Amino acid sequence: MLEQIKHTHPLVYRNFSALQNGEAYLRRVVELDRYWEHAHMFSSDGAVLPGSVFPEGTPVNGECDIFYAGGTLGLLHAAVMTKRYGQKVVLVDRHVAGTSTRDWNISRQELRRLEETGVFFTGEIDSAIVRSYKTGWVEFFVEDGRQKRLYIDNVLDCAVDADRLLGIARRKILAEEGNGILDRTTFRRCYKFPDHVIVEVSGPEGEILFFKAKVLVDVMGILSPIAMQLNDGRSQTHVCPTVGTVASGFQEADYDAGEILVSTERADTSAGSGRQLIWEGFPAAGKEYITYLFFYDAVDSDNDKTLLGLFETYFRKLPGYKKPADDFTIHRPVFGIIPAYSHEGFSRAREIADDNIILFGDAATLHSPLTFCGFGSMVRNLQHLTAGLYQAMVAGRLSRTDLEKISAYEPNVASMANLMKYMCYDAATDTPGFVNELMNEVMIVLDGLPHRYRQAMFRDEMRLEEFVTVLLKVAWRYPKVLKATYDKLGVGGSVSFLKNLAGWALSSTK
């Protein structure tokens, strides 16, 4: 596969060829890029089928209380369901469960929620934190020196080795008798019966296996065929393609601060009608330093959103963000398409459940579309996502309407989708400096407000009055945002923005 991209993506070819497992990483990139074929023409209506079409007499290979398809955030949820609630679980992953293609940043305060489940202990969580920073900052490029660097403490300031944390969860699951984790096993489809599901998977050698479960938890991420089917082929409205590396040997890297959002130039028009590229830089273990490049975009924009294309841009532009020194070494790539959903209405508009089936994590796409912290969202909500499912199972209330109440939907977080739309550069309505200018004004406003405002915004904990204060102050300083609201959101989008705010005002999280 590397040879095939030698001429189309020469920088990816060169850098991935130098990596141990470069070919395998490239395959994972290409696998995720299949999303773009699906996003345009795939509605996957064969993922959930009625029990009536299940071939009669087919033997079932195993039985459990909860069947998990997907082994990233699924491992955290399954660990709590088995250790705390005594459920028998089987989990499958098409790769090796607990080996993700990313690392995570989160605050210490949020990580405490894992301890509150009673399943993860302080020492275990500490062992997965590879570095803590003193502070973090955000800065957007503006040309006339008005650039505001906004410092934020206690936000995304712990770098977590994702695989180490997931490994802990994996061991906890396997320590309980009767549980199973099947690697290199792919979810194919499931059959719905009145009080259970039968899940069909294919194993490492292509063998077909069937499992009977009271509940199927879909944690297959952005490629979830179930999410696709339940949402008529439109499981996301927006995305954030993200690529980067864990590397060492930059000329200048501050190991005491996280660079949370950084732009270094105006909108880039080299891959379609335009995208505002944004960098992130986080120190990791030892001399390692993680850099990410990403952009916010609508699913149906004309930009090239492939991870392969973005990796080529990343390698080309990296020296403009952080200059590699002579000993620069890439240890591994990190990448993914982070999904987002804009709920047009007063409350959750996206389908996240069916009878005996529930979606969590990126498959549910309920995390903040602004900060894109899906791991953070799961950690914040883990307590009620597990307790809620257990109570529903005990009560035998596993219909779609029962299960969809157990969700990580947070009205304050959902309203952030409206801010995310301003981050999606649109050549038809925006000047090339628009996103930077606007975000720079937001930083200036946040700088003039008490520290808790910026923390709340970047930790997905904003209260309604804080949100409205920031909006009004930005509009006062930067009136162009009012016309931009009309241009970018249109009448429908502006009404939806107001509905989101009304839903938030009426909710318990205001």
Ligand X SMILES: Cc1cc2nc3c(=O)[nH]c(=O)nc-3n(C[C@H](O)[C@H](O)[C@H](O)COP(=O)(O)OP(=O)(O)OC[C@H]3O[C@@H](n4cnc5c(N)ncnc54)[C@H](O)[C@@H]3O)c2cc1C
In the chain, the amino acid numbered 131 is R
Helix (H), strand (E) counts: the chain? 15, 20
Among 9-17, 124-132, 217-225, 263-271, which window interacts with ligand X (CB under 6 A)? Answer: 217-225
In the set 35, 375, 425, 458, which binds ligand X (CB under 6 A)?
375
Residue list 378-437, contact with ligand X (CB under 6 A): none
* Alpha carbons 82 and 68: distance in angstroms, whole number: 12
Exposed (0-12), middle (13-18) or buried (19+): which is 250, by Cβ within 10 Å? buried
Q: Which stretch binds ligand X (CB under 6 A): 131-139, 300-308, 372-380, 480-488?
A: 372-380
Q: In the bound complex, what is the minimum distance in angstroms from residue 353's beta carbon to ligand X? A: 15
Return the number of the residue (35 or 141) whose C-beta is nearest ligand X. 35
* Residue pair 268/144 in contact by the 8 Å Cβ criterion: no
Q: Does residue 373 touch ligand X according to CB under 6 A?
A: yes
Pick out residues in 243-272 that bind ligand X (CB under 6 A): none
Contact positions with ligand X (CB under 6 A) in 280-299: 292
* CA atoms lying within 13 Å on the CB side of residue 144: 2
Q: Does the footprint of ligand X cover residue 274 (CB under 6 A)?
A: no
Closest residue to ligand X, judged by C-beta, is: 374
Binding mask 67-106 for ligand X (x = CB under 6 A): --xxxxxx-----------------xxxx----x-x-xxx
Q: What is the DSSP string of 377-421?
A: HHHHHHHHHHHHHHHHHHHT--SHHHHTTS----HHHHHHHHHHH
- The CB-of-420 to ligand X minimum distance in angstroms stands at 14
> 92 or 168, CB closer to ligand X?
92
Those residues whose C-beta lies under 8 Å from the C-beta of residue 153, and which sit 6 or more positions away, are 134, 135, 136, 451, 455
Examine residue 335 and tell whether it contacts ligand X (CB under 6 A): yes
User: How many C-beta atoms surround the C-beta of residue 428 within 10 A?
Assistant: 8
Smallest separation, CB 150 to ligand X (Å): 18
Q: Could you tell me which of 154, 339, 446, 259 has the C-alpha nearest to residue 438?
A: 446
The answer to the question of residue 25 lying near ligand X (CB under 6 A) is no
Report, in Å, the least distance between residue 432 CB and ligand X: 26
Query: Rounded to a whole number, what is the distance in angstroms from the first to the last CA of the chain?
Result: 50
Q: Is 504 in the site for ligand X (CB under 6 A)?
A: no
286: nearest Cα among 258, 257, 247: 247
Residue 35 makes contact with ligand X by CB under 6 A: no
Q: What is the smallest separation between the CB atom of 373 and ligand X, expressed in angstroms?
A: 3
Give me the least distance between CB of 483 and ligand X, in Å please.
33
Return the residue of 114, 216, 318, 338 that touches ligand X, per CB under 6 A.
338
Least separation in angstroms between residue 237's CB and ligand X is 16
Q: Does residue 374 bind ligand X (CB under 6 A)?
A: yes
Query: Toward ligand X, which CB reaches closer, 71 or 274?
Result: 71
In this chain, which stretch among 140-148, 219-227, 296-304, 342-350 interacts with ligand X, using CB under 6 A? 219-227
Size of the site for ligand X (CB under 6 A): 36
For the CB of residue 97, give the shortest distance to ligand X in the complex, in Å. 7
Q: List CB contacts of 472: < 8 A, sequence separation 6 or more.
A: none
Report the residue number, 70 or 411, with the smaller CB distance to ligand X: 70
> Which CB sits closer to ligand X, 283 or 503?
283
Q: Which residues contact 469 (CB under 8 A, 6 or more apart)?
A: 449, 453
Query: Which residues are CB-neighbours of 430 under 8 A, at least 6 positions away?
Result: 267, 274, 484, 487, 488
* DSSP-derived secondary structure for 55-95: PTTPPP-EEEEEEEE-SSHHHHHHHHHHHTT---EEEE-SS
DSSP state of 268: B
User: Could you give the CA distance from residue 260 to residue 252 in angstroms, rounded to a whole number?
Assistant: 16
Angle between helix axes 464-477 and 434-447 (nearest 10 degrees) is 120
Q: Which residues, 443 to 502, sit near ligand X by CB under 6 A?
A: none
Please say which residue, 73 or 81, places its beta carbon nearer to ligand X: 73
Task: Label residue 112 left, alpha or beta by phi (over 0 means left) and psi (-120 to 50 means alpha).
Answer: alpha
The reply to whether 223 sits near ligand X by the rule CB under 6 A is: yes
User: What is the smallest separation between the CB atom of 182 and ligand X, expressed in angstroms?
Assistant: 9
Residues 173-202 that bind ligand X (CB under 6 A): 186-187
In a 3-state reduction of DSSP, which class is residue 180? strand
Rule CB under 6 A: choose which of 19, 150, 216, 219 binds ligand X: 219
Tell me how far, at minimum, the Cβ of 105 lies from ligand X, in Å: 4
- Rounded CA gap, 131 and 282, in Å? 9
The distance of closest approach from Cβ of residue 350 to ligand X in the complex, given in angstroms and rounded to an integer, is 14
Rounded to whole angstroms, the Cα distance separating 236 from 506 reads 25
**Of 69 and 277, CB closest to ligand X:** 69
Residues that bind ligand X (CB under 6 A): 69-74, 92-95, 100, 102, 104-106, 186-187, 219-223, 242, 292, 334-336, 338, 361-363, 372-376
